[in-house]
Amino acid sequence: MSTGSRLPAAPRQQHVFAPSRRPAVPRGTAFWLVALAFTVIMLGTTLPTPLYVLYQHRLGFSTLMGTVIFAAYAVGVVTALVLFGRVSDVLGRRRTLLPGLACAVLSSLVFLGADNLPLLITGRILSGLSAGIFTGTATAALVDLADEDAGERATLVATVANMGGLGAGPLLSGLLAQLAPAPLRLPYEVHLGLLAVVTAGVWLMPEPVEITGRPRLRVTRPRVPERVRAAFLRASIAGFASFAVLGLFTAVAPSFLGRLLHLSDPALSGAVVCTVFAASAIGQITLVRPLGRAALPVGCGLLIAGMALLIAGLATESLLLLLGAAVTAGLGQGVSFRAGLAAINADAPAGQRAEVASTYFTVLYVAISVPVAGVGVAADAVGLRAAGIGFGVVVALLAVSALVAARRDRHAR
């Protein structure tokens, strides 16, 4: 999974390469082709979510190993962020999007033949690489391809494509697993078909970035200048809590439904996970701007309320409360993430925004993996219900600390 924002792009430069003779579609058409490719890539990253329980039954691994398989995705994303965070500024958008699509194709091919744990982990790492390469580049490409006065619309389309894809993945695979044959093959075959279509579209897009001189690649080094550290710390605490919530629902929600609520339908699992991402997208799109400086405190408050609903749902085995937790925590995740990123970008020096944002995203993807793996360890030791309740308490406490810090900052100003 990834987010609705991008790493800041370097200034556009003059193109010195020979003109391309390949056919290219108009920029307006390319805009929507890139948006569709973005959606399909992010759909693939959450496609296995409702299927983990089926893999668990077939291969006999524990809840802990299930969370490790999920966490491998974050390894791929962080690797891509560090190694390829600004590659598209150097090589161009199209040349960077195509390898991201290739990683997604390899991921689905690996999952098609995945009959052991190493293959599942490999598939997840490749999926993470595709998301890490694609997210910033696709968002930048949409901004580049849009009209000069349509930058805000391009960012909105990127957010919808990103979060819509993340939500559609578990919904699609859950429905296919529930209603069609070959539940561990058909979702990936469908994804490969979609990838073939969008790869053709990206191949035909015009290159919107013009580069001078010889391309020079460099690693995006995570760092935080001193003047940004206070804002970065506040945003990171809230972001850590919010992305841990996304990780929990994506990795463990099917187990909660199956083992605690005795509801093992893949379609239901996919719908619950889809609800979290849909709520996150709604929060990012509709609430952050109207709330202004109150966005981060409100997002933290929603996270706290969502964890209270999660704890109550696990304690009482209530599907209704679990759905309420998904909606409330999803809204809180979307609002707190976008507000935190906005605060960091506002305080960061213009020439260091990419490095600061990369560091922020690294924190977020650690939050997706490490706490969820901790839930897996705790589930094996004390049971899934107690582990989930403990997770809810820890996340709520993190959100409380971020809320207190945000309120102090508002009063200080």
Position 9 scores a pLDDT of 42
- How does DSSP classify residue 48? T
* Within this chain, domains 1-7+21-207 and 221-413 share the same CATH topology: yes
Position 169 scores a pLDDT of 94
Q: In 10 A of CB 309, how many CB atoms?
A: 22
Amino acid 353 reads R
Q: What's the rounded Cα separation, in Å, for the pair 132 and 125?
A: 10
- The CA–CA distances, whole Å, from 127 to 98, 139, 181, 185, 365 equal 14, 18, 24, 16, 14
- How does DSSP classify residue 29? H
Considering only the C-alpha atoms of the chain, give the largest distance between any 2 of them, rounded to a whole number of Å: 66
Position 17 scores a pLDDT of 37
Q: Would you give the distance in Å from CA 5 to the centre of its chain?
A: 10
- How does DSSP classify residue 258? I
Q: What is the mean pLDDT of residues 342-361?
A: 73
Q: What's the rounded Cα separation, in Å, for the pair 174 and 308?
A: 27
Is the pLDDT assigned to residue 29 strictly greater than 50? yes
Position 18 scores a pLDDT of 39
CA triple 141-142-144, angle to 5 deg: 60
Position 213 scores a pLDDT of 59
Share of the chain above pLDDT 70, in %: 88
Q: What's the rounded Cα separation, in Å, for the pair 253 and 198?
A: 30
Q: What's the rounded Cα separation, in Å, for the pair 375 and 8?
A: 34
Is the distance from CB of 307 to CB of 325 less than 8 angstroms? yes
From 213-217, 372-376, 387-391, the region with the lowest mean pLDDT: 213-217
Q: What is the mean pLDDT of residues 159-181?
A: 91
**Under CATH, which number does the domain 221-413 receive?**
1.20.1250.20
* Residue 8: band (very low, low, confident or very high) from pLDDT cuts 50, 70, 90: very low
Position 6 scores a pLDDT of 43
Q: In 10 A of CB 119, how many CB atoms?
A: 14
Q: What's the rounded Cα separation, in Å, for the pair 184 and 173?
A: 9
Structure tokens at 291: 């709330």
pLDDT in tens, 82-94: 787 677 777 888 8
Position 354 scores a pLDDT of 59
pLDDT in tens, 106-159: 999 999 999 899 999 999 999 999 998 888 788 888 888 887 766 678 878 888
With 0-12 / 13-18 / 19 or more C-beta atoms within 10 angstroms meaning exposed / middle / buried, residue 36 is middle
- 21's enclosing H/E stretch is none
Is the pLDDT assigned to residue 340 strictly greater than 80? yes
Rounded to the nearest 5°, which phi and psi values hold at 373? -60, -35
Q: What's the rounded Cα separation, in Å, for the pair 47 and 166?
A: 8
Is the pLDDT assigned to residue 2 strictly greater than 60? no
Is the pLDDT assigned to residue 210 strictly greater than 70? yes
Name the class of domain 1-7+21-207.
mainly alpha
What's the pTM value of the predicted model, to 2 decimals? 0.83
* Alpha helix positions (H), 85-185: 87-91, 93-112, 117-145, 151-179
Q: What's the rounded Cα separation, in Å, for the pair 55 and 74?
A: 20
- Domain boundaries, given as residue ranges, for the chain: 1-7+21-207, 221-413
* Residue 229: band (very low, low, confident or very high) from pLDDT cuts 50, 70, 90: confident
